[in-house]
Amino acid sequence: MAGRRSEKPGPYLRFCVVVFYPLISILWRRRWTGAERIPATGPAILAINHISYADPFVLARLLWERGRLPRFLAKASLFTMPIIGRVMRGAGQIPVYRGTADANDALQGAVRALQRGELVMIYPEGTVTRDPNFWPMTAKTGVARLALLVPEVPVIPIGQWGAQEFLDAYARRLRPIPRKCVQVSVGEAVDLAEFSGSEPTAETLHAMTEKIMLAVRDQVASLRSQPPPAEFYPRPEGVGVRASDARKVIDKRQESA
């Protein structure tokens, strides 16, 4: 599968690898560009465009091949689901508590993971893009806020393409045949030096998010060999809202585990 790794996966993550690693090999042809830009050790924030509910498996496979453990930021409501939630918690995935009084509190799990030297994968859009042509849409500012909380950690833009041909959730279409090609392009770390020491004002967060998403969009454009749209697709109202009591449910389950 993969060579020697610096991080030790737990039993849940090993189970996921045993199940999904060979399945991914059967379902998709894979093409990685710039994978060597993912650090072999140490923390990094990986900012990725979101095109399908299947694409986390693509990125997880890439990281595993690089000898790193996949740690996704995901909305906390997923962690309350009976089976999926237990697997996600056991595999070390990171819940995001949207709607908290202090926005920084929503990202503390990610901050702790980065402080442990782990990679944290985040979809800045918060959900699968609503752009009908699958270009990145306007992102939320969580990725910028996280970058300000851990300014010493690089933010690496990643573009992906192909998973939407396999599973298009909004068209309710699953097309495993013919075998699809999934592609990932990893860019150079985004230069955020101009924001060093800045307060997380709305202006700063939006400017940082824009710069990060432009870098992500450029990676997508390179994969598609097409010029990207001049502007990001507008984010529909209400997209990304989560249940307000998800944190209580997760905390209760962790206490009883």
Residue 164 belongs to a domain: yes
Cβ-based neighbour number of residue 151 at 10 Å: 12
Tokens of 104: 């920084």
Mean pLDDT of 128-133: 94
What is the rounded CA–CA span in Å between residue 93 and residue 11?
Answer: 13
Backbone angle region of 172, left / alpha / beta, with phi > 0 → left and psi within -120 to 50 → alpha: left
Mean pLDDT lowest among 96-105, 131-140, 163-172: 96-105
Q: Is the pLDDT of residue 83 over 70?
A: yes
User: Would you state the torsion angle of the CA atoms of residues 99, 104, 107, 112, taken in this order, to the nearest 10 degrees?
Assistant: -150
Q: Is the pLDDT of residue 246 over 50?
A: no
Mean pLDDT of 203-217: 98
Cβ-based neighbour number of residue 94 at 10 Å: 23
Residue 14 belongs to a domain: no
Residue 216 belongs to a domain: yes
- Count how many domains the chain has: 1
Terminal CA-CA length for the chain: 31
Is 163 in contact with 58 (CB distance < 8 Å)? yes
Relative to beta strand 44-48, strand 155-161 is parallel
What is the rounded CA–CA span in Å between residue 208 and residue 202?
Answer: 10
Residue 209 belongs to a domain: yes
Please report, rounded to a whole number, the percentage of residues in the chain having pLDDT higher than 70: 86
pLDDT tier for residue 104 given thresholds of 50, 70 and 90: low
Cβ-based neighbour number of residue 194 at 10 Å: 10
Name the β-bridge partners of 158.
48, 186
Q: What is the DSSP letter of 201?
A: -
Q: What's residue 158's pLDDT? A: 98
pTM of the prediction?
Answer: 0.84
Q: Which of 146, 147, 136 is nearest to 215 (CA)?
A: 136
Q: Is the pLDDT of residue 249 over 50?
A: no
Residue 225 belongs to a domain: yes
Is 83 in contact with 75 (CB distance < 8 Å)? no
Q: What's residue 171's pLDDT? A: 80
Taking only the tens place, the pLDDT of each residue in 159-184 is 999 999 999 988 888 999 999 999 99
Task: Note the Cα 223 to chain centre separation in Å.
Answer: 18
Mean of per-residue pLDDT scores for the chain: 85
Please report, rounded to a whole number, the percentage of residues in the chain having pLDDT higher than 90: 61
Residue 150 belongs to a domain: yes
Peptide bond just before 124 cis, omega within 30 deg: no
Task: Provide the residue range defining the domain that includes 204.
Answer: 43-231
Is 76 in contact with 95 (CB distance < 8 Å)? yes
Residue 80 belongs to a domain: yes
Residue 202 belongs to a domain: yes
Q: Which of 189, 193, 177, 182 is nearest to 220 (CA)?
A: 182
CATH number of domain containing 202: 3.40.1130.10
Q: What's residue 76's pLDDT? A: 78
Mean pLDDT lowest among 10-24, 99-113, 200-214: 99-113
Q: What's residue 63's pLDDT? A: 92
Q: Which of 185, 43, 49, 181 is nearest to 123 (CA)?
A: 49
